[in-house]
Amino acid sequence: MKYEISITKTTEPKAKPADESKLGFGKVFTDHMFLMEYNTEKGWHDARIVPFDYLPIHPASTVLHYGAEIFEGMKAYRTQNGDISLFRPMENIRRLNNSADRLCLPKIDEEGCLDILKTIVALEKDWVPHEEGTSLYIRPFMFGNDPHLGVHAVHNATFVVICSPVGAYYPEGLAPTKIAIESEDVRAVRGGTGYAKCGGNYAASLRAGQKAEDRGYTQVLWLDGVERKYIEEVGSMNVMFKINGTIVTPALTGSVLPGITRKSCVEMLRSWGYPVEERLLSVDELIAAAADGTLEEAWGTGTAAVVSPIGHLSYDNKEYTVSDDKIGSLTQKLYDALTGIQWGKVEDTYHWCEFVCKG
């Protein structure tokens, strides 16, 4: 089911970023945004693309008090043959609806949501950057918008899509990151919202992230919230380790985000013949492997982070270098294969790319 989308174009288009090598992440926004409202009587309605602007919001709005918010992160790419395409957008749409289910927010029709994403990306196609390593980051998000303070499931909600031309997420680019294993704060517990992509998970992560940054680390690696024993994920990405030839990544136990880049990497690795174990991985096992040299490579996966090498781990006041603090050969192979498909440099044998429009 498609939503009827009205389009009001800006009369004051902004200048596009002059130097695409300095885009960074999420600092520049395109000319337009998508908005749509929900209430229990009308369902989703008033789908519209309007000039990018601030949102008016009631001071009692559910999102401001009780954190009723979910989001997605996805990218549009300018491929080598000049097409603009999305990467596995249905995976994001399904995850958005799973997050909505967990946070008691309304679901969106899958085909209708794909049409929304394609419509805004096609309208903003000139904002999709050209340089290698860049893309148009798309941030769909939804929040509860009931104008009263009672704590109840949401009856009014707003769905928004904003777009931002981006380069690398980390200032390090593809240089290895330094990750601190966090043993005090936890991000999520099973039965909580860890598997949902909701703002609250990230709010809970900020203190530990800041502490790690102050000590010179890029991000934290979370342990499970019950035993503080099992590896879960990094601040903005899932995590994978090559231990003695086998790739190990934390199982999706309910407190780990089911990443789409994670899923794509697992599928590629298996198709290349690597053994991949999705299982509980204790921090003791990881640290023992780091200490005896069997931890061959470590990397994070995420839409924003893509495939990001980890060159350094810190745990319990001890420091461990991984892969000589260089990008490992398998990490590089994964990065090249994934971005090769996304940028249309290699054949998309998995059928992951979704055509949006000619660039």
Burial tier of 173 (Cβ tally within 10 Å: 0-12, 13-18, 19+) = exposed
Nearer to ligand COI by C-beta: 25 or 66? 25
Please report how close the Cβ of residue 275 comes to ligand COI at its closest, in angstroms.
26
Please report how close the Cβ of residue 71 comes to ligand COI at its closest, in angstroms.
7
CA 94 to chain centre: 14
Nearer to ligand COI by C-beta: 73 or 112? 73
- 3 state SS of 99: helix
Q: What angle do CA 143, 73, 224 make, to 5 degrees?
A: 85
Please report how close the Cβ of residue 161 comes to ligand COI at its closest, in angstroms.
13
Please report how close the Cβ of residue 74 comes to ligand COI at its closest, in angstroms.
7
Burial profile 47-68: b = 16 or more Cβ within 10 angstroms, e = fewer: bbbeeeeeeeeeeebbbeebbb
Please report how close the Cβ of residue 187 comes to ligand COI at its closest, in angstroms.
12
Nearer to ligand COI by C-beta: 158 or 303? 303
Please report how close the Cβ of residue 68 comes to ligand COI at its closest, in angstroms.
18
Please report how close the Cβ of residue 1 comes to ligand COI at its closest, in angstroms.
26
Nearer to ligand COI by C-beta: 134 or 303? 303
| Those residues with Cβ within 8 angstroms of residue 271's Cβ, 6 or more apart along the chain or in another chain | none
As a whole number of Å, the CA-based R_g of the chain is: 21
Q: Is residue 300 within a helix (H) or strand (E), and if so which, with residue range?
A: strand 295-302
Nearer to ligand COI by C-beta: 95 or 295? 95
Measured distance CA(230)–CA(218) in Å, rounded: 20
Asked whether the beta carbons of 163 and 136 are under 8 A apart, the reply is yes
Taking CB atoms, the residue at the shortest distance from ligand COI is 73
Which two three-digit tokens encode residue 224? 């499970």
Please report how close the Cβ of residue 307 comes to ligand COI at its closest, in angstroms.
12
Q: Which residue is it, tokens 């199982």? A: 251
Nearer to ligand COI by C-beta: 179 or 295? 179
Nearer to ligand COI by C-beta: 303 or 314? 303
Residue ranges binding ligand COI (CB under 6 A): 73, 202, 236, 302-305
Please report how close the Cβ of residue 305 comes to ligand COI at its closest, in angstroms.
6
- Residue 81's CB is within 10 A of a number of other CB atoms, namely 10
Nearer to ligand COI by C-beta: 144 or 302? 302
Nearest in space to 167 (alpha carbons), one of 75, 51, 70: 75
Phi-psi region of 179 (alpha: psi -120 to 50; beta: other; left: phi over 0): beta
Nearer to ligand COI by C-beta: 86 or 295? 86
Measured distance CA(109)–CA(93) in Å, rounded: 9
